[in-house]
Amino acid sequence: MSYLNAVTLVGFVGADPEQRQARNGGAKFTVLSVATQRSWKTTEDEWAFKTEWHRVVVFRPRLAEHVATAIKKGSHILVEGELVSSTYERPNGKGKKSATTKITSWSIRADVVRKLDRSEPQPEAAASAAAGQAPEGSDEIPY
């Protein structure tokens, strides 16, 4: 028996990516918010839209650094990765007998982030295309 946990998103970045560091001087990682939108026709034959926001986390060091520097708010991107849940407890009030609530949040752990914007030529991509090779750290290469 085999299992599959795979996510592919194509959307727009809602804010500039944030580079963070794990507790106790741990590894750096990058977090970004990606919006996707679906549309459908209502029974009144009008278009309706729903935007979903996705939290994307990049732990792979080279990719995390590249995303933090090359991706900006409004960038059109493709993300491939897996869905990951995190559960934590939050107290519901003060005092010794306060109850706690378990909260589960979902994020996408990215393995690939590609910039889909074609309007901006990337200097390193143009130089390496002339040399006939892929640029180091290019967003076209899955790390």
Q: What is the average per-residue pLDDT within 14-32?
A: 91
Residue 136 lies in a domain: no
Q: Determine how many CB atoms are found less than 10 A away from the CB of residue 115.
A: 20
Tens digits of per-residue pLDDT, 78-87? Answer: 999 999 998 8
Structure tokens at 70: 């090359």
Look up the CATH number of the domain holding residue 108: 2.40.50.140
DSSP string for 23-76: TTT--EEEEEEEEEEEEEE-TTS-EEEEEEEEEEEE-SHHHHHHHHHH--TT-E
Q: How many domains does the chain have?
A: 1
Residue 138 lies in a domain: no
Residue 66 lies in a domain: yes
Residue 95 lies in a domain: yes
pLDDT number for residue 131: 44
Structure tokens at 74: 């409004």
pTM, to two decimals:
0.71
Residue 14 lies in a domain: yes
Q: What domain range is 48 assigned to?
A: 7-131
Tens digits of per-residue pLDDT, 69-114? Answer: 999 999 999 999 999 998 888 777 676 666 778 888 899 999 999 9
For 36, phi then psi, to 5°, come to: -120, 160
